Each structure stands twice: as structure tokens, then as C-alpha cells.
Chains A and B, each alone.
Chain A
Amino acid sequence: MSQSEAKATILSRINYALRDQPVAPQTPRAYRRSSSLGHAEVVDMLEDRLVDYKANVYREDASSLPGRIAELLADSVTILPDGLDSSWLPEGLSTVRDHNDDGAPLGARELDALGAVLTSSTVSCAETGTIFLNGAADEGRRALSLVPDHHVCVVPLDTVVELIPEAFERMDHQRPITMISGPSATSDIELERVEGVHGPRRLDVILFG
């Protein structure tokens, strides 16, 4: 039977199922949707939650940022998204860009051979310790922040919010969204948390501003 038939059948079943005509309720949105905390408190909360997830957290300003990046990425070949702010970069960092000689983006095995990735981020939610990547030019495509085993992520202080609704407000759903809360982890064996499975096992977060 054809696909249009399957669709028509399913919709007809569902319409029949709703023959009692249930009314969709208004959603009560009494939950918190905007922060009542000061910005400094919110940033402190983010740091606390990130540390709780076993991410390494650093606070830098424009003058100290390149030095910190140099230190964190000294031993790796690091891939950089094309749109990354070049003023962040220290001298002498060993880097590659996301295209090989013929201009095509790197393949998965090429990414796998790299040690680290450096990205920016769109917004971070303090209450849950979550960093949102939204496919921006300084974040790169999703594979970049996934395949290399070490992710250094810059979080500009003006992108830090307290609550999840505040973070979602800043998301563009047209582009892929990746929410990151600490390094990859599993609790599948006896509920014992192991940091680091398939995603980057080391997550360094630089609170910047």
C-alpha cells in the first residue's frame, strides 16, 4: 500500500480516536522564565555547575585569553572553525582549518586524527551548567566539536543566562543545536558515572569577558 494511504489511514484512526473532541488546555506557565539574580551570581553558578560536571573552568579577559588558550592547547593539533575571532589566538598554536587542499571539509578520519578543537558558544545556562552551540561560524559544524577528544570552549560572559527558558529564547532552530553539559559520560555500568565515552573526554571552558 502506498505512503499516502498509510498517512490517510493513520490520520483517520486518530480523528476517530478523538471523537469525544477533547479540548486542548491552556498551558500554565508559572515556572520561572526570567532570572532574578545579578549577573555575577549567575556566572558563579555556571562555574559551580560546570565544575560539578568535571569540566575545567578558567576565567580570562581579552589580554589573558590567548595565553590560556596557548597553555591548554600546547600539546595538540587544534582544529578551528572558520569564523573564530582571530584575536583570541596565541602565536605559535598548531592549528588546522576545516578544509583540506581541494577545499572540501575534513573527513571523519581526518578529524579523528586531530587532538583538539577550539570553539566559541552561543549561550550558556547557569542553572543546569549547559553550553549551547547553534551552528554559528565561530562554532563550526557539529562534527568539529565532537570527534576530537579535547574541546576548549569559550563562553563570552554576556552570553551567560540563569535559566533554560532564557537560553532557548536565543536559539535559532533553523540551525543545528547542541547542548553540552560537561564531558561525555555514561552511568550504564552499575550506575557508576564514567566521564568520557564517545564525545570529547576533556572539556575546558573559558569564561571570557
Chain B
Amino acid sequence: MTTVDLGMPGTRIAYGSGNLYEETPFPEHARAELKNTQMRANIGHATHTIRGKRARVVGELPDWQDLRDAGSAIKQEVGARLPELLEQFEANVTARGGVVHWARDAAEANRIVTDLVRAKGVEEVIKVKSMATQEIGLNEHLEGQGIKAHETDLAELIVQLGEDKPSHILVPAIHKNRDEIREIFSRRMPGTGKELTNEPAVLAEAARSYLREKFLDTTVAISGANFGIAETGTLTVVESEGNGRMCLTLPKTLITVMGVEKLLPRFSDLEVFTQLLPRSSTGERMNPYTSMWTGVTEGDGPEEFHLILLDNGRSAVLGDPAGRSALHCIRCSACLNVCPVYEHAGGHAYGSTYPGPIGAILSPQLTGVAAEQNNSLPYASSLCGRCYEVCPVKIDIPSILVHLRDEDIRTKHGQRDQAATQQRSTVIEARQAEAEAAGVTPEPAGHPAEAKKKKVPSEMDLLMKAAGTVMSSGTRMGLAERALPLGRGALKPFGGAKWLPGMVGGWTQERDIPVPPNQSFRNWWKNNGENTQQRVAEDLGDTQLAVSAGGEVPASSLAGEIHQHAAWGAEAQAVAKLRAERDQAEGATTKDSPATSTGEREGEQNA
């Protein structure tokens, strides 16, 4: 992995590699995925179902927002105290008979796992669904080393047998329907016959029979972890099917790969996260099974336990105060299930293990925004804010998206050359290493500093520059708006614009541009602003208006509630507070009516 010396002895920022980026930018990938109507129908159905379930079970808890606040604070604490907590965690796992390994990147983690499996002399392992091992590409790596990893989660099994890629954090085969799954099973799963129907229960039964043999005979299992408790060394896996319990309990050797950010300081913190996760994730009050273990327990479960603590770019994420809260993510996927962009484009369009809104901020941060096409991900959002509203640990995804867009623009403007070069080098080196491991000749790679050629101002740069000049002055806006009649004259015969060239063509690809007005409000107001009486008279004729109650109407408590919990951005909260203080201080005068505080103007109206 390429690293850049930061001037402190031995200190490096290091970005992650693995299944975190792709060569196709999001808009292009999404365009192709949008044509897959079956996939879109499957995802639309699934996300709508699950978001409804989530809303119901979250609505049941009177203290949901308190739990979110606690979860967010605990995760902030983890970030701030990470070195100390990792040391404590390692000491506790070790004291209970576990062996702790540290992996700087994907390649190192894969190497450690391979060595451990080889030392056991086996060629097959069973696996519990794990995002971390997908991120590092463990299965592909093991395959190359002659070791077969059997995924045991039903959805992962569907994906693995179908030689497909996961498209969702929680339900990786969400893009497949029952007919497609039946087809995959009957083609690829030994022991299935004509009796296999497309009934989910029948398909699940087939998976049960197939996997039971693996559970009973395989001696090495690999898992991820949802939480690791620093104070006790306890690890946690949250699941539904019981495949996790099988993998964690029956084999002789257990290898767990866990991102360093998955720590919680205290055992009691689990009381918060075991409430937040299932309700946000599957929309259940609780998932069927949660397993916790601390090191090795004599006479119960594996005799050997290895824990691999993975960095792979997490320290780089932590190094950005504006983006580090992406590490709070507990992989619940609530943000995917409410995201309209995810719903239409699907998970594959994001080109990373982490799809959806969280993926759009996490992948570019793990790899650096300049790695491959990850600079297209921060733009894969309309900033509607639903992701923040449902996030159980209050990750401010919309604000981080904007922050990463800014990073991308500054990268393109040549203001981040050192970081960008390093981010690209990480990708190139990882690709070369992958190719070498697979015994093929690596593709010739572009030069890591290719950003340089992008420094010619883009169309967007020019648009923003022009708009910035016009929009930062009322006078210039007024002058620019004098051109409106020209546009009106040009477009009126056609009823508006149907096609425009260049970047703005993105607009006319999907929408018409209306015929503009004959003049702007600003310019109209100069000549007509004063005609208040005429306007009122024309609108009201002889109608007498009821005097408004003024001050009697409280702010809707419902709206206040939504505002408090759905409004992202620390700055917005500050303004809401300012406004509340202001309202309180000036209560009587602000919530006024014309009759009480603007007597003179009322006189005007009734003249």
C-alpha cells in the first residue's frame, strides 16, 4: 500500500483497497441498471415492505430518539478513544484465550486468514455473512489459494451460487425474485430435484438440507462481528437464520474479521445497540438470534479463536473531522431502504461492497475520493435527507456528501494533488497485487497523478463561476434578467426548450424547459412595488377578512418533532435554537397581528 509521509516519524495516512471501487462511474452504471425492470420491481417491492415494517416498530418505542442520541454519542466516544479502546479490547480477548491479529489492509487480512486456514489443513470453510470479508474480497482470495468458502446466509448463498454480487447490506439477493432463485438453486445446488418450487419456504428448506451437512462436518468458520466490547473482550453477531450460531458454535476454529471501528466501550452499551439495530435493519422488535462470546469457553464452542482487527482505510476516514462519523455505521441498511436513488439504481450501481447512501460516503472516504470512479458517488444523491432521518446513529449523510463533493472539486482543481496521487496509487498497487496473486499479467495502469490533466475548467466550473458572479449581486442579477424577454421570444414558438447541448443537456434529456416570463420579479417590482392598495382592492373587492388570531396559534408540535429529529447539519440546529430564543424573547411582538402592532398599516388597508 502506498503511503505518504506526514512529517511525523512512522506516521502515514493509508487508504483502503478491495471491493470498494469500480471503473464505471455511478451515472453510467445506474443508466444500465435502470433498464433492468425486473430488478427494479424486486427492489421497489422489498424496500417499500421493509421501510413500512421499520416505521411500525420504531413508532412503538417512546424513547427512540433518546436511543439514537445515546448511540450517536457512544460511537463518537469510540472514535475519540479508539487507540486506548483497541488496546483494552486486545488485552481482554487475549486474556480469555483468543488470539488477536492486526491487518493494515485487505491484502494483509486475506493473508492472515489464509495462513490460519492452511495451518488447520482444511480446504473448506463455512462463513457467516460479513461486510468486512466482502470488502476485502476474502472469498475470491481463498478461492485462488485453493480454499472453498461456503456462504451460509441464505441470501449470500443465492449470490454465491448465482456467481452474482450482493446488492444490499442486509438482503444481498434483494434484486432476485423467487423464480430467479429457484433457477439458481436447481442449476447449482447439489441434491435439488424437480420437487423444488419457487415457494420461499421450499427454497429455504433446500438451503437448510444442503448447508446442514457443511455445518456438521466443517471444522473452520469465518465470521464478521457487529460489535466488540472493549471493556470485556466480548464479540457479537446479530442474525436471523441460525447459520451464524452454527458457524460460531460447531467448528473447532473460529476466525473473526472485524473493522477497528466496530468497538463499543462498555458491555452495557449493547443495551442501546441491540435495540437500535434490529428495528432499523429488518424492521423487527428483535432479530431471531444474537450470539455473544468472550474468547474461548471450555466445553462450549470453538477451541481456538482468532480475531483480525482490520484498518483498510478506516484510519483515513477517522482523520477527517467532517467525515469521520461515517464510521459510526452499524450496517443496518435503513438508509438504503428509504433512499429513492438506491431504489431506482439498485445496489450494483455503487460499485462497492457498501451501496446506498452510506456507501456513497463510506466508499469514497475509505479509498479517498480520487480512487477510480469513487468521485462520482458523492453526487449519487438528491440530498433529500431521508437517510439522516432514519439513521439509528444519526450519521449526517447529506452534509458529508456535500463535504465530499467539495473535496472532489478541490481535487479536480489541483488543490489536493498529494492525497489524490496516493489514493490512485493504492488502487493501482492493489490491482497489480490481485493480478499477481491470480497469476495473470496486470493491466497497464494509468499514472497515479493523472488528475493533472483535469485542471482545465470543466463546464460545471464555468457555470458555477458565472452563476457566482451574477448571483452575488442584486444589480447583476437584475441586469442578467433583462435577457428574459429574449429567451421568451426564442422559446415561445416552440412552447419551451426540448434539447440543449452539453451538461445542461442532462436537464433536457428528461424535462422540457418552460417559456420564461417576460420579466423578472425584481425588475417588475421597481415599477409596481408601491401599488399595495390596488392589489389588495383588486383581490378582495368587497370581502371583509377575519382578523387573524395572531399569537394564539402555537407552532405545530408535530412539525417541531420532525424538525428536531429529521433536520441534519449542526448549523441548522444552531439556527433553530437561535430562532426559538428569539421567539421566546419577542413572543408577544413577533406573534402579532396587524390589529395589535401595526396599527398604522392596518389603517392603510382599511382606508
Footprint of B on A, CB under 8 Å?
A: 3, 6-20, 22-33, 49, 53, 105, 108-109, 112, 125, 127-130, 135, 141-143, 146-147, 164-165, 167-169, 171, 173-192, 194, 196-200
Contacts and interface: CB of A to CB of B under 8 A. Distances in A.
Interface string B241-284: 11101101110000000001000000111111011001000101
Contacts of B101: 3, 6
B358 interface: no
A165 B271 contact: yes
Given A176-B291, A189-B204, A199-B245, A31 B10 contact: no
Contacts, number: 266
Interface stretch (B81-89, B369-377, B504-512, B599-607): B81-89
A141 B77 contact: no
Given A12-B12, A199-B242, 17 more contacts: A3-B102, A13-B13, A20-B321, A23-B80, A27-B73, A27-B269, A109-B216, A130-B286, A143-B249, A143-B301, A181-B287, A191-B45, A196-B204, A197-B241, A197-B242, A199-B241, A200-B242
Given A14-B260, A16-B8, A141-B301, A186 B70 contact: no
Given A128-B286, A181-B285, A168 B12 contact: no
Q: Give the most central of B45, B241, B270: most A CB within 10 Å.
A: B241
B314 to A, nearest CB: 8
Contact of A13 (B12, B177, B211): B12
B74 interface: yes
B401 interface: no
Given A164-B271, A184-B289, A199-B288, A112 B245 contact: no
A174 B298 CA distance: 11
B311 interface: yes
Contact of B292 (A12, A105, A177, A181): A177
Given A7-B102, A10-B104, A16-B6, A197 B243 contact: yes
Which residue of B177, B240, B278 has the most chain A CB atoms within 10 A of its CB atom?
B240
Interface in B161-182: 171, 173-174, 177-178, 181
Interface of B: 6, 8, 10-14, 42, 45-46, 49-50, 62-63, 66-67, 69-70, 73-74, 76-77, 79-83, 86-87, 90, 101-104, 108, 152-155, 158, 171, 173-174, 177-178, 181, 200-201, 203-204, 207-208, 211-212, 215-216, 229, 232, 234, 240-243, 245-246, 248-250, 260, 267-272, 274-275, 278, 282, 284-294, 297, 299-301, 309, 311, 315-316, 318-319, 321, 324
A28 B67 CA distance: 9
Contacts of B104: 6, 9-10
B520 to A, nearest CB: 45
20 contacts: A6-B101, A9-B10, A9-B12, A12-B10, A12-B11, A13-B311, A15-B11, A16-B315, A17-B319, A22-B79, A130-B286, A165-B268, A176-B294, A176-B301, A177-B293, A178-B289, A179-B289, A189-B200, A197-B207, A197-B241
B50 A24 contact: no
Contacts of A3: 101-102
Given A179-B286, A187-B171, A198-B243, A28 B102 contact: no
A198 B285 contact: no
A28 to B, nearest CB: 5
Which 3 pairs across A and B sit closest by C-beta, in order of nearness? A199-B242, A17-B319, A198-B242
A15 B83 contact: yes
B274 A164 contact: yes
A147 B152 CA distance: 15
Given A16-B13, A173-B267, A190 B274 contact: no
Contact of B242 (A31, A128, A146, A188): A146
B242 A168 contact: no
B45 A190 contact: yes
B245 A27 contact: no
Contacts of B321: 20, 22
Contacts of B73: 25-28
A175 B177 CA distance: 41
Nearest to A199: B242
A30 B62 CA distance: 11
Nearest to B318: A17
Given A18-B82, A188-B158, A142 B249 contact: yes
Nearest to A110: B216
Given A28-B73, A135-B297, A164-B274, A186 B204 contact: yes
A28 B480 CA distance: 52
B316 to A, nearest CB: 7
A14 B229 CA distance: 19
B572 to A, nearest CB: 19
Contacts of B204: 186, 188-189, 194, 196-197
A189 B178 contact: yes
Nearest to B63: A31
Contacts of A187: 171, 240, 282
A207 to B, nearest CB: 18
Contacts of B234: 173
Nearest to A108: B216
A3 B306 CA distance: 13
Contacts of A177: 290-293
Contacts of A173: 229, 232, 234, 267, 292, 294
B288 A185 contact: yes
Nearest to A6: B102
A128 B177 contact: no
B365 to A, nearest CB: 12
B292 A112 contact: no
B309 A10 contact: yes
A109 B215 CA distance: 10
A9 B208 CA distance: 43
B131 to A, nearest CB: 16
Contacts of A168: 267-268, 270-271, 274
Contact of A142 (B10, B62, B203, B245): B245
Nearest to A149: B208
A190 B108 contact: no
A83 to B, nearest CB: 13
A31 B323 CA distance: 27
**A11, A167, A171, A173 — which one has the most chain B CB atoms within 10 A of its CB?**
A173
A181 B246 contact: no
A184 B211 CA distance: 15
Contacts of A165: 268, 271
A179 B45 CA distance: 30
B77 A32 contact: no
B318 A18 contact: yes
Contacts of B284: 181
A200 B212 CA distance: 12
Contact of B240 (A127, A128, A184, A200): A184
A137 to B, nearest CB: 11
Contacts of B103: 6
A125 B270 CA distance: 14
B316 A17 contact: yes
Pick from B14, B103, B275 the residue with the most CB of A within 10 Å: B275
B92 to A, nearest CB: 10
Nearest to B295: A174
A149 B490 CA distance: 76
Given A3-B101, A3-B102, A198-B243, A189 B203 contact: yes
Contact of A191 (B50, B158, B215, B274): B50
